[in-house]
Amino acid sequence: MLYRETGQFKTSYANDMVIFPIRQDRIGVYLLLGFAFIVLPLMMAFHVAPFRTDYFLLAILLPFLILSLAAIGVNILVGYCGQISLGSGAFMAIGAYMAYKFGTGISEIGLPPMPIVIAILLGGLSAAFFGVLFGLPSLRIKGLYLAVATLAAQFFFDWVFLRVKWFTNYAPSGSVSAPELKFFGYLIATPVEKYMVALSFLTLFALVAKNLVRGNIGRQWMAIRDMDIAAELMGIRPLVAKLSAFAVSSFIIGIAGALWAFLRLGTWEPLAFDINRSLELLFMVIIGGLGSILGSFLGAAFILMLPIFLTVLPAELGVPITTETVSHLQNVIFGAMICFILIKEPLGFARLWQIGKEKLRMWPFPY
């Protein structure tokens, strides 16, 4: 009953084109942002209910924020521009390692250590550069063939970061540790602070991504996705549209990679960004909803939460099974649920959400 748009009139096109044209949605988003930026940090600071230990924050909330950001990046490429990519893990790795290099300074060219924010952004730019490079095949090949071509990026960079010692600053163990996390002179150390940094990046880039996909360049991406020949005959240049999608997407994925390495892992090896990561991100956008920013969040939440939920549930219910059985069962149920959801709603959670909202407008009447 509360969800009605009656009486909300749009008097200008600018008004009609806002992200959330319905007032209730706007209020909801402001409340959510307020909750995430103010209430949650306070709860964490005072160790209220779920935050008694740092587990919930570090194992669930922080990964959710960072992987949502990565999923938004993947969604721009796969969901909006229709170019299937299996190289997302590699672009995360590029973001992470290049941010590390810029953060610790590149002595060969006399580059001093950069401030951490700039290092992260430069990491994203490096990922964007290689994204464009590995996006070049998309001008000739489509679909599954392109997926295989981007897979090459994944294996190539796995190898590079394992074998080329320059990227790890010649660390004998092959693993690297994040430089000191000083954001604008403020040292980030506690989980709450890490959460705030991740949340700020996510909010900023989610807004940027949304602005892009509803603007001119976003329409070009979708046009290329839906009907590339018609798009070309309307003056859209496939080269520009596809490569810009690769650039923006890899940039965001690269930033997410740098955040993942610096905030979540601290110390990492190339294994953290292997093919499994790429697949996981692809599953997130497919299940969440291709071509939807909201879907990126929902998919990330689902893929992250479900395994944890499946692990915790038997123990909570007091079912006497071994941890080994649990982890096997988890894979089975996880796979089955993905199949089930994709059969029931191929357009993902975002579509379910949309249907729910449409029903809510009429509620309690069916139409």
Partner 1 sequence: MSATAAINSADTRAVTNEVLLAVENVTLRFGGVTAINGVSFDIRKGEIRAIIGPNGAGKTSMLNCINGFYHPQEGRITYKGETRQRMRPHVAASQGIARTFQNVALFNGMTTLDNIMTGRTLKMSANIFWQMLRLGPALADEIKHREYCEEIIDFLEIEAIRKTPVGRLPYGLQKRVELARALAMQPDLLLLDEPMAGMNLEEKQDMCRFIIDVNKTFGTTIALIEHDMGVVMDLSDRVVVLEYGRKIADGTPDEVKSDQKVIDAYLGVSH
Kindly list the residues in this chain that would bind partner 1 in the complex (CB under 8 A).
12-14, 17, 208, 211-212, 214-217, 219-220, 222-223, 225-227, 229-237, 244, 248, 291
Smallest gap, in angstroms, from Cβ of residue 214 to partner 1?
8
Which tokens sit at 95? 């973001």
Q: Rounded to an integer, what distance in angstroms lies between the CA atom of residue 151 and that of residue 23?
A: 44
| Total residue count of the chain as it appears in this document | 367
Q: How far is the CB of 16 from partner 1 (least distance, A)?
A: 8
What's the min distance (Å) between Cβ of 209 and partner 1? Answer: 9
Place of tokens 């390692």: 97
Encoded amino acid at 311, one letter: T
Q: Taking a C-beta distance cutoff of 8 angstroms, is the pair 266, 178 a contact?
A: yes
Q: Which is nearer to partner 1, 144 or 229 (CB)?
A: 229
Instruction: Compare residues 14 and 109 and give the one whose CB is closer to partner 1.
Output: 14
Give whichever of 142 and 269 is closer to partner 1, judged by the CB atom: 142
**What does each C-alpha distance from 336 to 285, 325, 329, 332 come to in angstroms?**
17, 16, 10, 6
Q: Which is nearer to partner 1, 59 or 210 (CB)?
A: 210
Instruction: Pick between residue 112 and residue 235 the one whose CB is nearest to partner 1.
Output: 235
Instruction: Name beta bridge partners: 53.
Output: none
What b/e sequence results for 285-300 when a residue is b if at least 16 CB atoms lie within 10 Å of its CB, and e otherwise?
Answer: bbbbbbbbbbbbbbbb
Instruction: Give the list of residues 6+ apart from residue 134 with CB closer than 8 angstroms, or none.
Output: 87, 149, 150, 152, 153, 246
Shortest Cβ 227–partner 1 spacing (Å): 5
Q: Which residues contact residue 153 at a Cβ distance below 8 angstroms, ignoring those fewer than 6 apart? A: 87, 90, 91, 130, 134
Write down the least CB distance from residue 225 to partner 1, Å.
7
Q: Between residues 153 and 293, which has the closer beta carbon with respect to partner 1?
A: 293
DSSP 184-235: TTEE--SHHHHHHHHHHHHHHHHHHHHHHHTSHHHHHHHHHHH-HHHHHHTT
Cα–Cα distance, 97 to 86 (Å, whole number) = 19
* Nearest distance from C-beta of residue 318 to partner 1, angstroms: 47
**Matching residue, tokens 């690769």:** 246
Q: Are 69 and 252 in contact (CB under 8 A)?
A: yes
Closest to partner 1 by CB, 199 vs 206, is 206
User: In this complex, which beta carbon is closest to partner 1, that of residue 24 or of residue 354?
Assistant: 354
Closest contact distance (angstroms) between CB of 241 and partner 1 is 10
For residue 290, the minimal CB distance to partner 1 (Å) is 9
Smallest gap from Cβ 234 to partner 1, in A, equals 6
Q: Which two tokens stand for residue 226?
A: 């839906």
Between residues 23 and 165, which has the closer beta carbon with respect to partner 1? Answer: 23
Do the beta carbons of residue 151 and residue 90 sit within 8 Å? Answer: no
